[in-house]
């Protein structure tokens, strides 16, 4: 199916705003207060409301991103060859996407279930939040290089 590249890019940018903006709100707006008050519920309350929209935006980012890459001639067969500037952007983005997924799995299985009983887990949660936010900002900066020819 063909979808106009500009439309894919607009959907990609709206989703990037939601994903990166949401994580920046959490990391900069909510996390410092939660650490200060040692109150993990400030984080879990935000996550409960943000998760459906955040996860949907990540799915849209992956679908539109891979679709735009395909329109640039960079399909799965060319990933991870690091042989041309645009393909390098796509390959690094996919590696960072995997890192995001690993952070999410680790938070859901190793950290969040223990926040109520083990206060020290709050610091591990902080590490996960800052990690995913930093990776999100890096993905956004990487994306912006495409219009300058790649990396
Ligand atoms: C958290 C995830 C992501 C964020 C925050 C993000 C963000 C961005 C941003 C801000 C742009 C800049 C567009 C512009 O300068 O006009 C962009 C472009 C792009 N992204 Fe992503 N992106 C993400 C994930 C992905 C993934 C998983 C892929 C595919 C492998 C991908 C592929 C692309 C491509 C091909 C472009 C260039 C589109 C164009 O300029 O025509 N992105 N991205």
* Structural domain span for residue 60: 5-148
SS3 40: coil
Residue 1 has what pLDDT? Answer: 73
- Residue among 25, 18, 12 at smallest CA distance from 53: 18
- Separation of CA 44 and ligand 1 centre (Å): 28
Q: Does ligand 1 come within 6 angstroms of the Cβ of 97?
A: yes
Residue 116 has what pLDDT? Answer: 96
d(CA 59, CA 2): 19
| Nearest residue (CA) to ligand 1, atom 18 | 143
Cβ-count burial 28-58 (b if 16+ within 10 Å, e if not): eebbeebbeeeebebbeebbeebeeebeebb
- Residue among 110, 91, 114 at smallest CA distance from 102: 110
Are 3 and 67 in contact by the 8 Å Cβ rule? The answer is yes
| Residue 69: partners with Cβ closer than 8 Å, 6 or more residues away | 75, 86, 90
Residues of the chain falling short of pLDDT 50: none
Domain count, the chain: 1
């Amino acid at each position: 199916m063909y979808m106009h590249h500009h439309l894919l890019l607009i959907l990609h940018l709206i989703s990037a705003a939601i994903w990166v903006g949401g994580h920046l709100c959490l990391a900069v707006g909510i996390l410092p207060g939660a650490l200060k008050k040692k109150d993990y519920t400030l984080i879990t309350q935000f996550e409960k409301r943000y998760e459906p929209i955040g996860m949907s935006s990540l799915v849209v980012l992956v679908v539109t991103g891979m679709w735009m890459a395909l329109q640039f001639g960079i399909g799965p067969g060319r990933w991870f060859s690091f042989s041309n500037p645009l393909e390098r952007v796509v390959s690094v983005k996919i590696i960072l996407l995997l890192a995001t997924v690993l952070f999410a799995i680790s938070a859901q299985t190793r950290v969040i279930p223990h926040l109520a009983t083990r206060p020290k887990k709050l610091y591990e949660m902080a590490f996960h939040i800052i990690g995913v936010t930093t990776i999100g900002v890096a993905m956004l900066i990487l994306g912006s290089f495409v219009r300058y020819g790649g990396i």
